[in-house]
Structure 1
Amino acid sequence: MPATSDGPTAPDNPTPQDRRAPAINRVTAEDITAALKAGFSDFLARPVMSGFFGLFYAAFGILFVWCLVWLGAIWMVIPAAVGFPLVAPFAAAGLYEISRRLQAGVGFGWADILTVMANQRKRELGWMAFVTLFVFWVWSYQVRLWLAIILQDSSFSDVGGFLTIVFFTPEGWTFLAIGTVVGAALSAVLFSVTVVAMPMLLDRDTDIVTAMITSVRVVAENPVVMLAWAAIISVTMLLSLVPAFLGLIFTLPILGHTTWHLYRRAVTPPAA
């Protein structure tokens, strides 16, 4: 489909102008259901384009795990696979733009989506990516720390041996318990500051601090509903990793599109 640019495009001003805190709406379970339906509809409207982002994310995950095995970092394979979904919000930036244009009724092609994503380097979405990757880095090193403290005498020659130690020894159970608690805390922090911030930075000319504060406000004012949405994302993403990351080809696009529609329901749209 030829690219068109006759409709509204995401702002690319490198200097954010609007620092006013937007109004937060009350979000219900019905909003999540409606957002999921809209997200699935967006996926069906652009299955190839949406699936491309899912395929790219899945391929990167497979390559990442293969590199860990090749480097002999067997102990890092499972933690990396579990922590990999932490960077999904940034990977879904192109999906937010697809949903934004579909919702606005604007025609678009590959060039429009990729150009808008490239222009984000001039704005503050890049800083949001830094925050996301920093949390993933912290996740990785806290796993290494607990491995050194709890499983210091263990030897991991292959993935099977690592799984045996982790799931069938008392030390492994302790490692899992602590890792789960710490991982849940990091995931909660990252979810709170990104669930609305990512699409908001793409949608309007604002700064990263305002976007992150707005995201935290949405979670704080709708704790039960947003916790349910976080659980849906976590379970869906983890299940998608089972078939060699290939489930992400479908689940990442749908969740990404859904996140956009949930953001539009949770945050009052910018003034025209």
Structure 2
Amino acid sequence: MEITSERAHGIPPLGAPSSALFRKALSAGWRDFRAAPAFGLIVASLCLLAGWGMAGLTIWAGHTFWLVLGVFGFPLVAPFAALGTYEVSRLRGLGEAPSVGRVIHVLMHERGKHLPMLCALMMVMLLFWFFLGHMIFALFLGLKPMTNIMSSAEVFLSPNGLMMLAFGSAIGAGFALFLYAICVIGLPLLLDREVDCITATARSVMVVMGHPAPMLGWAAFISVTIVLAMIPAFLGLIVVLPWLGHASWHVYAGLKEAQDGAAAAPPPPSGVSAAP
């Protein structure tokens, strides 16, 4: 199978994010999901089965605190799980027909480039989060007689439990913010352009640092939506994961369009103010 679209080299100019851009991205993402749902549904179903398997294993082993770590750790690697939806939206934006086979082929074509490096970093961070979360749990609640959060949830309301939740949430937020900052633009950029991983992630961090309010608002929306989608036995991920994956691509594409529109706007006549 030939890859028909050549990737441009280098980082494109990116405009400023806005609430209107995010609303437009969510709407475009939903249209992409409805138009080409196959790949998103396949990946989301695999995530659903993985969630059920993890829940069953931790309950069977009697260590359900691992399930808590998994629930709050999944947003760290959600962009990796939704990577194929980026390619679906990219192809649709080029006017090409996406298919499961073509998306898999493109992703496999990327395995010798820089995209796997960023994906591997995400998985390492998730595993390290599990290790660190277990250490935090042991530090604050290791001596408490709790083996099942479903039957001993009141332990979390003890002084040690509340301190654990506060400390663990702060550490988890730091993990999430780091990965979000390098991935929100870095992942779609690596898929869209011929660029190295360091350059892509550095540009992604610059966008987040340059526009903290809208970009962190988008991060909060993604995190809360994914966590809520996992509450009903992970079933919400079937729709939410591909929808947000498509929308995330359109945020990147919208930043390119915003810059193109700003560059195309003619300057005001000499001596005439641009303000109304």
When residues 219 and 6 of structure 1 are mapped into structure 2, their CA distance, relative to the original with a 3 A threshold, is closer
Q: CA deviation at 1:202?
A: 1.0
- The residue type paired with residue 180 of structure 1 is S
- Structure 2 unaligned regions, length at least 5: 261-276
Taking every aligned residue pair, what percent have the same amino acid on both sides?
31
Q: Distance in 2 between matches of 1:153 and 1:213?
A: 43
TM-score by length of 2: 0.87
Structure-1 residue corresponding to 2:147: 157
Structure-2 residue corresponding to 1:14: none
1:243-266: per-residue Cα shift (whole Å, max 9, x none)?
111100100111000000101122
Structure-2 residue corresponding to 1:89: 79
Structure-2 residue corresponding to 1:237: 226
Structure 1 counterpart of 2:250, from 236, 252, 261: 261
Structure-1 residue corresponding to 2:274: none
- The residue type paired with residue 186 of structure 1 is F
When residues 153 and 215 of structure 1 are mapped into structure 2, their CA distance, relative to the original with a 3 A threshold, is same
- The residue type paired with residue 262 of structure 1 is V
- The residue type paired with residue 112 of structure 2 is K
Deviates more, 1:61-70 or 1:84-93: 61-70
Q: Which has the larger radius of gyration?
A: 2
When residues 90 and 154 of structure 1 are mapped into structure 2, their CA distance, relative to the original with a 3 A threshold, is same
Structure 2 counterpart of 1:176, from 165, 169, 174: 165
Once superposed, what is the RMSD of the aligned Cα atoms?
2.1
Contact 1:40 1:254 in 2 (8 A): yes
Alignment of 1:52-67 (within 5 A): 52-67=42-57
1:29-79: per-residue Cα shift (whole Å, max 9, x none)?
111111111111101111233222221222222223323333443221112
Structure 2 counterpart of 1:196, from 182, 185, 194: 185
Aligned partner of residue 154 in structure 1, secondary structure: coil
Contact 2:182 2:205 in 1 (8 A): yes
Number of residue pairs aligned between Structure 1 and Structure 2: 259
- The residue type paired with residue 64 of structure 1 is M
- Structure 1 unaligned regions, length at least 5: 12-16
- The residue type paired with residue 81 of structure 1 is V
Structure-1 residue corresponding to 2:267: none
Contact 1:74 1:162 in 2 (8 A): no
When residues 75 and 6 of structure 1 are mapped into structure 2, their CA distance, relative to the original with a 3 A threshold, is closer
- The residue type paired with residue 142 of structure 2 is Q
Aligned partner of residue 160 in structure 1, secondary structure: coil
Kindly indicate whether residue 200 of structure 2 is the aligned counterpart of residue 211 of structure 1: yes
1:98-139: per-residue Cα shift (whole Å, max 9, x none)?
000111110232210111122221111111111111221222
Aligned partner of residue 28 in structure 2, secondary structure: helix
Aligned partner of residue 161 in structure 1, secondary structure: coil
When residues 267 and 140 of structure 1 are mapped into structure 2, their CA distance, relative to the original with a 3 A threshold, is farther
Deviates more, 1:53-62 or 1:110-119: 53-62
Structure-2 residue corresponding to 1:8: 5
When residues 183 and 111 of structure 1 are mapped into structure 2, their CA distance, relative to the original with a 3 A threshold, is same
Kindly indicate whether residue 29 of structure 2 is the aligned counterpart of residue 32 of structure 1: no
Kindly indicate whether residue 252 of structure 2 is the aligned counterpart of residue 248 of structure 1: no
- The residue type paired with residue 176 of structure 1 is L
When residues 246 and 136 of structure 1 are mapped into structure 2, their CA distance, relative to the original with a 3 A threshold, is same
Q: CA deviation at 1:154?
A: 1.2
Contact 1:5 1:108 in 2 (8 A): no
Structure 1 counterpart of 2:109, from 114, 119, 142: 119
Q: Distance in 2 between matches of 1:252 and 1:72?
A: 29
TM-score by length of 1: 0.88
